[in-house]
Amino acid sequence: MNIPELHLPTEDPDFIKNPYPTFREYREKTPIFWDEVNNLLFITRYKDVRHIQTSKSFGTTHSHIDNFESEVQSSNVPLTYVGYKRSEKYESYDYFWKSEQFSLLNLEGELHKELRGLVAKAFLPRSVQKLIPFMQKKSQELLNEKSSTEFDVLKDYAQPYSISIIGELLGVPDEDHAKFLDWSHKIVKMYDFKISNENAEDAEDAAKEFFDYAQDLLDKRRNDPKDDMITRLSQVTENDIGLTDHQIICTIILLLNAGHEATVNTIGNGLNGLLLNNKTSSEVFEEASNMTDVVEELIRWDSPLQFFQRYVLQDTEIENYNIQKGTKVAILLGSANRDPEVFEEPEKLNFNRSYKDHSSWGGGIHFCIGAHLARLELEVSFEHLLKKDLVLNMEPERTGAFGIRGYKNLLVKSR
């Protein structure tokens, strides 16, 4: 069967403002389509998105199946010290590449398994639970400062809140938070659909500074261990093998980037979702049996991450369409989360859904390793924000990016 051709207008501001009617139209038409302009195969329906997230036939890189692992093994350099194969995308960007070389997101196979196992040992639920009093204090302090005036939920609250939590977990000094927020904003632009040369150069500069900074911090913790995650990353072992400096630095950069952008945008998208749906605080507290359900439903309703790409690792089929090994597919999380086959009345916010397993945390071996932290952080945050009974002061503007979905600002005041 020929795969239908459609185009996802990721540059169109109206689509960025509200992509859901287009998702609905395309999802009803076809589970899969070829987009010539974006040069990608898109997957629209929940069932197939979840299959791709969890199936071993799909991976974030295909280098490990293209004889790469065996080439490396025969060179006598342990696989764990090599990272994934450099792709053309990174050819001109040495530091960006270096900072991504051991990013869990890009690894597959044995490499991913070994590294993720060690990182998970340093990121145990109890180290996250210990942060609850810190989260509550920080959130309250930031909101108290803004008690009567208009404020920007993103810049004045969500960003400093989220960055301070990941900083506290890792052990990054407060005075450096602004610096790594700036690096992180520049680096994540490399994950979007279209990357301008200017953005790529900024990301390269930011990656260099971030890399050097993380190395310095790691050296300090090796000399003077503390009760923080950087120290734990420097100490964890499995069969007497620990993480190298390079692996730890890539992990620090990944945790700092992944650890706040999606959380900040969930706060923005989620709060605006509540306001757009005219959900008052008392209604939410009455309707939902707990804050966990509120957070999961807000993430489903307007996902902060809209798509991920995978390579097909072995010839396969999606809904009777043949897909060849090496093909790149893009799974549309926002579309999957509004699939009526799975979520009844998907356009509605409903805090009492019986089926809650949306696609926004990923699945399979790349399932979000920070989900336990993000969930707690967001529960504390929405509990506090709802109690403030906020109203919008101005219609918020989207950032313009498709992949990382968020607002430029969200100006509110208490009712």
Closer residue to ligand HEM in complex, CB, 254/323? 254
For the record, the structure tokens of 297 come out as 């439903």
* Nearby residues of 359 by Cβ (< 8 Å), 6 or more positions away: 46, 49, 50, 53, 303, 331, 333, 336, 337
- Cα separation, 27 vs 192, whole angstroms: 22
- Cα separation, 349 vs 352, whole angstroms: 9
Q: What sign for the dihedral angle of Cα 153, 155, 160, 165?
A: positive
Closer residue to ligand HEM in complex, CB, 291/305? 305
Closer residue to ligand HEM in complex, CB, 142/258? 258
Cβ at position 282, least distance to ligand HEM in Å: 25
Closer residue to ligand HEM in complex, CB, 6/44? 44
Whose CB is nearest to ligand HEM?
Answer: 370
Closer residue to ligand HEM in complex, CB, 329/373? 373
For the record, the structure tokens of 279 come out as 């959900």
What does the DSSP 8-state code read for residue 318? E
Tell the residue number behind the tokens 């208009």, with chain if given.
150
Q: Say if residues 280 and 308 touch (Cβ distance below 8 Å).
A: no
- Other CB atoms closer than 10 Å to residue 279's CB: what's the count? 17
Cβ at position 45, least distance to ligand HEM in Å: 17
Closer residue to ligand HEM in complex, CB, 300/353? 300
Cβ at position 256, least distance to ligand HEM in Å: 8
Closer residue to ligand HEM in complex, CB, 368/392? 368
Cβ at position 160, least distance to ligand HEM in Å: 15
CB crowding 41-64: b at 16 or more within 10 Å, else e? bbbbbbebbbbbbebebbbbbbbb
Cβ at position 324, least distance to ligand HEM in Å: 21
Cβ at position 179, least distance to ligand HEM in Å: 18
Cβ at position 415, least distance to ligand HEM in Å: 26
For the record, the structure tokens of 44 come out as 């629209």
Q: Say if residues 203 and 190 touch (Cβ distance below 8 Å).
A: yes
Closer residue to ligand HEM in complex, CB, 247/360? 360
Helices (H) and strands (E) in the chain, counts: 17, 12
Helices in 155-310 by DSSP H: which ranges? 159-170, 177-188, 197-223, 229-235, 245-276, 281-287, 291-301
Indicate the helix (H) or strand (E) that contains 242.
strand 241-242
Indicate the helix (H) or strand (E) that contains 43.
strand 40-43
Cβ at position 257, least distance to ligand HEM in Å: 8
- Cα separation, 289 vs 286, whole angstroms: 7
Cβ at position 128, least distance to ligand HEM in Å: 9
Q: What does the binding site for ligand HEM look like in residue numbers (CB under 6 A)?
A: 53, 60, 104-105, 116, 166, 254-255, 258-259, 262-263, 266, 299, 304-305, 308, 360-362, 366, 368-370, 373-374
Closer residue to ligand HEM in complex, CB, 257/316? 257
Cβ at position 18, least distance to ligand HEM in Å: 20
* Greatest extent of the chain over all pairs of C-alpha atoms, in Å: 67
Closer residue to ligand HEM in complex, CB, 262/385? 262
